[in-house]
């Protein structure tokens, strides 16, 4: 709600953006955090370039295998999301580590009554889903890639419960069905993305998950 409200209300006499001033601010900030601040445009461009290579769902399906064999040298692949009725929901470029964990992604996929947001090197995915009037947020903890917090909120944004899930990692499943699995310290497994068998997890609208090489 805040986002929408801020978007609607433009400040009176808002200052103009000043690249010179921004550079000065960046310089001060860089000294304070002791790290140069640069936008990695090359990385973003690479993702944009790769997204142009998306092929049809039928062709992807024809590829069959969901293993990472044949991945590009930098392990970047597109994942195409399909709705249960076959509608193309969009695609996002991912970078995988050598053990197939997602390590770098930028993008948002609309899943109807929610979104999957992918951004950041160590924060691979967050899921916002509306189920029976309850907003469920999976938010990976950026300060600890192995930790994910499951937030369950009612539709009036009142927090009902928050559950910390200690994870070894957030892995892409290679069981031939796709999807992501979160495992907590008690061995409890939660599927973030529904597999192709149409199971009724929180992402029930995402029944197919493909990627190409």
CB of 30 to other proteins, least distance (A): 8
Q: Which of 85, 156, 186, 197 binds other proteins (CB under 8 A)?
A: 156
Cα 94 to Cα 102: distance, rounded to the nearest angstrom:
7
- Sheet of strand 171-172: strand arrangement: 171-172, 180-183, 189-191
Nearer to other proteins, 18 or 72 (CB): 18
Q: Find the shortest distance in angstroms from Cβ 122 to other proteins.
A: 5
Q: Name the phi and psi angles at 159, rounded to 5.
A: -70, 125
- The 74-93 site mask, x for binding other proteins (CB under 8 A), equals --------------------
Number of chain positions touching other proteins (CB under 8 A): 49
Q: Which of residues 103-122 bind other proteins (CB under 8 A)?
A: 106, 108, 117, 119-122
What residues form DSSP beta bridges with 78?
A: 93, 212
**In contact, 162 and 169? CB cutoff 8 Å:** no
**What's the distance, Cα to Cα, between the start and end of the chain in Å?**
39
Per rule CB under 8 A, is residue 148 in the interface with other proteins? Answer: no
Could you say which of 53, 159, 162, 199 contacts other proteins (CB under 8 A)? Answer: 159
Residues 152, 163 contacting (CB under 8 angstroms): yes
**Least distance CB 139 / other proteins (angstroms):** 6
- Alpha-carbon span 165 to 58, nearest angstrom: 36
Q: How many DSSP H helices and E strands does the chain contain?
A: 4, 12
**Site for other proteins, rule CB under 8 A:** 1-3, 5-6, 8-9, 11-18, 21-22, 24-26, 28-29, 32-33, 35-40, 106, 108, 117, 119-123, 126, 137, 139-143, 156-159
């Amino acid at each position: 709600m805040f986002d929408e409200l801020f978007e609607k209300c433009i400040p009176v006499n808002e200052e103009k953006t000043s690249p010179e001033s921004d550079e000065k601010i960046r310089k001060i900030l860089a000294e304070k955090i002791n790290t140069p601040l640069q936008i990695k445009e090359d990385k973003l461009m690479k993702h944009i370039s790769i997204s142009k290579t998306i092929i049809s769902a039928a062709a992807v399906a024809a590829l069959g295998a969901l293993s990472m064999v044949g991945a590009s040298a930098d392990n970047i692949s597109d994942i195409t999301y399909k709705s249960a009725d076959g509608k193309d929901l969009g695609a996002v470029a991912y970078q995988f580590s050598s053990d197939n964990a997602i390590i770098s992604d930028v993008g948002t996929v609309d899943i109807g009554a929610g979104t999957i947001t992918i951004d950041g090197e160590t924060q691979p995915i967050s899921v916002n889903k509306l189920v029976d009037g309850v907003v469920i947020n999976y938010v990976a903890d950026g300060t600890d890639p192995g930790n994910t917090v499951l937030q369950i909120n009612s539709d009036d944004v009142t927090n009902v419960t928050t559950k910390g899930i200690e994870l070894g990692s957030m892995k892409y499943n290679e069981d031939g069905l796709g999807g992501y699995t979160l495992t907590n310290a008690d061995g409890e497994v939660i599927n973030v993305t529904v597999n192709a068998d149409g199971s009724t997890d929180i992402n029930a609208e995402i029944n197919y998950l493909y990627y190409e090489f």
